[in-house]
Amino acid sequence: MIAYSGGVDSTFLLKISADILKDKVLAITALSPTYPQEELIFSQKMAKQFGVKHRIIKTKEFKDKRFVSNPLNRCYFCKKELFIQLKDIAKRNKINFVIDASNASDREDYRPGNKAKEELKIRSPLQEAGFSKEDIRNLSKKLNITTWNKPSLACLASRIPYGMKINEPLLKRINAAESYLKKMGFRQVRLRHYDGLCRIEVFKDDIALVMDKRVAIIKKLRQLGYNYITVDLEGYRMGSMNLVLTKKLLCKRRS
C-alpha cells in the first residue's frame, strides 16, 4: 500500500511499484482541507494511467485540537491520523507493507511526522535506498513520467506560522491565493500567511515577474484579505517557516 499524494516522489514510487508488483499495489490518497482539490483529481488520473487500484479516504486531523492549535510538532498529529487509517485498511486487506515516498533530501528539513512513521512502522523505500529529490526527478524524466518537473508540494498548513490556529477557511484563502499566482505563470509558489500580511515565495529568477505583475497581484490578494503583500527576496526554499524554529533549537543547544 502506497500513501499517494500525486507529487513527484510518490508518483515515481507508484510507477516503479506498479511495474514490479503489477496488481499487488494499492494506492491511497487522503482527502483533506490541507491539500488542494486539483491534486486529488491529478492522483486519480495518474493511478488510472498506471493501472493501479486507487482508493480515496477522508482524514480527520481537524477533529484533533492538538493539530488545530498548530504546535511545533503539528505534522506528527496529521501524519499519525493518516498512517493509522492506512494501517487499518492494510490489516483488513491482508497487505503486509505500507510505504510512503519520503526521500533522502527530506532529512535536511524538520520533519516531526517521521516520529509517527516510525511508531506505526511505515517504510520509506526511496529514503532507505538513498534517493535524493534530484535523483527522483532525473529518473522520472528518463521514464517519461510527467511529474519529473512538477513543482514540489507541501501541506497548506505549512504556510502558517507555528502557534497560529489552523482552520479550513484560512487554508482555502491560502489555496486561492496560490492558485491565482500559479495561473499567472509562476512555476513554484508559496504564500506564507501572517494574519493581514503575506510573504510570497517564488523562484529567484521569477521575482522580477512578480514586480511586473504587482498591480494585479496586489488587487487579488487584497480581495482575499491581505493588507500588506510582501515578496521574499531569497526566493522559494523548502521549509522556510522552520528557520525560526531552527534558530531557537540552536540557541537552546548553545545555552
- Per-residue confidence (pLDDT) for residue 240, from 0 to 100: 73
Between CA 40 and CA 135 the distance in angstroms is 25
Hunting for cell 523562484 — which residue is that? 203
CB within 8 Å of 216: residues ≥ 6 apart? 184
Amino acid of residue 198? C
The model carries a pTM of: 0.89
Would you kindly state where each structural domain of the chain is located, as residue ranges? Answer: 2-149, 156-242
156-242 belongs to CATH 3.30.70.2210: yes
What are the C-alpha distances in Å from 91 to residues 60, 139, 198?
A: 20, 32, 43
2-149 and 156-242: identical CATH topology:
no
Q: Which CATH superfamily, name and number, covers 2-149?
A: HUPs (3.40.50.620)
pLDDT in tens, 17-75: 999 999 999 999 999 999 988 999 999 999 999 999 999 999 999 999 999 999 999 99
pLDDT tens, the chain, 255 aa long: 999 999 999 999 999 999 999 999 999 999 999 998 899 999 999 999 999 999 999 999 999 999 999 999 999 999 999 999 999 999 999 999 999 999 999 988 888 999 999 999 999 999 999 999 999 999 999 999 999 999 988 899 999 999 999 999 999 999 999 999 999 999 899 999 999 999 999 999 999 999 999 999 999 999 999 999 999 999 998 777 776 554 554 454 455
Per residue in 156-166, pLDDT tens?
999 999 999 99
The beta-carbon contacts of 127-131 under 8 Å, at least 24 apart in sequence, are 127/102, 127/103, 130/104, 131/103, 131/104
